[in-house]
A = this chain, B = another copy of it.
Amino acid sequence: MSAVKPKLLKGFKDLLPGEMLLREKIISQIREVYESYGFVPLSTPALEYKETLIGYGDEASKQIYMFREPDGYDVGLRFDLTVSLSRVMAMYRDIPRPFKRYQIQPVWRYDKPDPGRFREFLQFDIDTVGTKSMVADAEIITAMSDSLTRLGLKSTIRFSNRKVLNSLLAFSGIPEETAHQLFRVLDKLDKQGLKNVILELGTGRTDDSGDKIAGLGLEDAQIARIEQFLSLNPQTRSDAIQAVSDLFKNVENAEEGIRELTEISEYLDALDIPDDEIVIDLGIARGLDYYTGPVFEAVLTDKRASRVGSVMGGGRYDDLIGRFTGEPVPATGASIGIDRLFAAVRSMGGSDLRSSTADVLVTVMMTERITDYAKVAQMLRREGINTELYTGKQTSIGKQLKYADRQSIPVAVIIGSDEFDAGQVSIKDLGKIKREEVDIKDRKEWVKEKVGQVTIPALDLVNTIRSILAGS
């Protein structure tokens, strides 16, 4: 046969079972947390009309996979889920509001691929549409925290407010047009430190690789004011609010941003959420232009996951949905970086990915008795034990056990003619080998020999397997 060369597109990836099972588990745990807050699922098409997709500025448009479909319409693959949510809010006017929706679907961006960045990736978005209440923002923040805890990850959620940052512009005498650039520089604080950020606000700097980074060219007096703001180092949420209130006491219209910070803070205090779990970090800006109020992000605090960066982030965007509805529709939400969380969970776990859903492999020693083995497998399934019946071409039990071992199936059932005659079954505890960290050479022996193997009456099969699985 002449074969077609199998290739993946650059920037795209397959998820094999081991990765898929872990990813599905992560998604399902986060979903449970958001459902506990009453968020409901939505699904929208991958393709949208060009007119729907554009309008986020040139940069986004260049990233969209756009083409003319056979009916002659210009369409594109969605590059985020927010634009689809906006379209949905405009099309179905009778959706009860507030609409608390989550959506877990892939998006596509024609972007420069690198090891951690793909051109197709799964987005898990949560948004509350149709309310100005800060409780909506607070709930997205606390659910972010809850879901990371649920995944066994230690985290800090940091939040600030775009209105407060706009007051910073007024406080520093910086024109609004510079806001976007300024916020981009502020977002580097975490990685680059205050000193480098100050340089980038002024004349620019040279990075470690010798590359020149242009500065914003702000005046010294302006930079001094920003430095004053960034150097506020409040220990608690209420300290932060006090500090920013004092600093901006002569700034016009500063009250609303501070009120929003305060309302979220009061919610968190009422729920006794410690000051180091969810913190006000005034410098957080988040890159996107469309945020109008609270902005927030989650970072992992465990050292093993420290290189992962922000794993969730978002903010309030009260003016975006109006592009479709023709009237302002307030909204707030966050995106969860499933790929980053996956990396974090892996870096914490250390163990092999389990690539099987089966807890038991029923091996087949005597192919002529295949239906007897099938009956054993079916009986185990009826008892709620996920069971694979070996259907491959290997007739050697050793090779069938190796198959189980490679897929991390923890238990194998072996029945030969002696066992059939005596009404017995043999059970091999393959998981024990992994747990006791038998090295590879010994493992081969262990799999092959009758180590970890017991022969019991057939009637005890279910209970014996249950107790092995309970111990593993």
Contact = CB atoms under 8 A, between A and B. Distances in A.
B392 A106 contact: no
Interface in A376-432: 378, 381, 384, 386-389, 391-393, 403, 406-407, 409
A35 interface: yes
Given A38-B357, A323-B4, A406 B96 contact: yes
Contacts of A450: none
Contact of A40 (B21, B75, B131): B21
B40 A355 contact: yes
A138 B389 CA distance: 11
A8 B52 CA distance: 9
Interface in A78-117: 86-88, 90-92, 95-98, 100-101, 106, 108, 110
A51 interface: yes
Interface stretch (A64-72, A159-167, A309-317): A64-72
A14 interface: yes
A370 B52 contact: no
B267 A371 contact: yes
Given A6-B87, A45-B12, A120-B45, A357 B388 contact: no
A267 B46 CA distance: 42
B271 A135 contact: no
A110 B381 contact: no
B3 A135 contact: no
Given A322-B3, A325-B3, A389-B139, A20 B45 contact: no
B45 A1 contact: no
B47 A120 contact: yes
A349 interface: no
A43 B20 contact: yes
A36 interface: yes
Contacts of A96: 403, 406-407
B8 A45 contact: yes
A7 B52 contact: yes
A217 interface: no
Q: Which of A36, A386, A409: most chain B Cβ within 10 A?
A: A36
A131 B3 contact: no
Contacts of A269: 371
Contacts of A372: 270
Contacts of A6: 52, 86-88, 90-91, 324
A97 B390 CA distance: 10
A187 interface: no
A136 B370 CA distance: 12
A10 interface: yes
A472 interface: no
A374 interface: yes
B42 A15 contact: yes
A49 interface: yes
A96 B15 CA distance: 15
A70 B100 contact: no
Nearest to A110: B70
A471 B158 CA distance: 42
A17 interface: yes
Contacts of A36: 381, 384, 386-387
A42 B65 contact: no
Contacts of A106: 46
A139 B131 CA distance: 51
A327 interface: yes
A103 to B, nearest CB: 9
A83 to B, nearest CB: 10
5 contacts: A23-B43, A69-B110, A98-B391, A270-B372, A271-B374
